Amino acid sequence: MSAVDGITIALSKGRIFEETLPLLAAAGIEPLENPETSRKLIIPTNRDDVRVVIVRATDAPTYVQYGAADIGVAGKDVLLEHGGEGLYQPLDLKIAKCKMMVAIPAGFDYENAVRQGARLKIASKYVNIAREHFAAKGVHVDLIKLYGSMELAPLAGLADAIVDLVSTGSTLKANNLVAVEHIIDISSRLIVNQAALKLKREIIVPILDAFASVVGE
């Protein structure tokens, strides 16, 4: 299949891929390999006109924005951090749900620190989201960009608090951290390259309709 003849769907491994499978099935699309067991990054499907590319979750919007993929699935967290320019976001797929939260070490008086105007050190992978949140509260912060193991930052003295995704809260609890502030609910969105939607409408629109029928929109 050439990129001109069919469409390319950008997905990330793990939870997003697994929870997108029923949506793909509703559109009559079945990936022929599992990215958890295959090393292939381009995965064929049961349809000659559809292929799947496996990308990092943070890269999905970039692949779609620049037309390397026609449609994709990305978390709202990634889209907020990425900016979402040039992307049509027609559907909240209501999958991979979690919350963006502020978390602190148990025993740290966060409310008092905020009330007294203390300048807080905040570690996060999501510095743009964190910056907007604290700016809206009028809280002065120094943001520290990290790429993983966020829970370690306050334990090691790198930060007073973290901004991170929380699903069950078990990782926070295991590291003696407490979620103290809800920033935004997160779920995954369908993203579409706007030029592809015009040029490949006859392939893409039925897929959008099938996804919408599953998520009830």
Portion of the chain with pLDDT greater than 70, in percent: 98
How many CB atoms lie under 10 A from the CB of residue 13?
14
In the chain, the domains with their CATH numbers are 7-96+187-215 (3.40.190.10), 98-185 (3.40.190.10)
pLDDT band at 133 (very low <50, low <70, confident <90, very high): very high
The answer, yes or no, to whether residue 1 has pLDDT greater than 90, is no
**What type of residue sits at position 4?**
V
pLDDT, tens digit (0-9, with 9 covering 90-100), for 84-117: 777 999 999 999 999 999 999 999 999 999 999 8
Asked if 104 contacts 160 with a C-beta cutoff of 8 angstroms, the reply is yes
- SS3 call for 162: strand
**3 state SS for 66-128:** CCCCCEEEEEHHHHHHHCCCCEEEEEECCCCCEEEEEEEECCCCHHHHHHCCCCEEEEECCHH
83 phi, psi to nearest 5 deg? 110, -30
pLDDT in tens, 24-39: 999 999 999 999 999 9
pLDDT digits (tens, 9 = 90+) for 146-205: 999 999 999 999 999 999 999 999 999 999 999 999 999 999 999 999 999 999 999 999
3-state helix, strand, coil in the chain (%, to 5): 35, 30, 35
Tell which residue, 174, 147, 154, 58, has the closest CA to residue 102: 154
Q: Directed axis angle between helix 201-215 and helix 15-26, to 10°? A: 110
Distance CA 99, CA 71 (A): 24
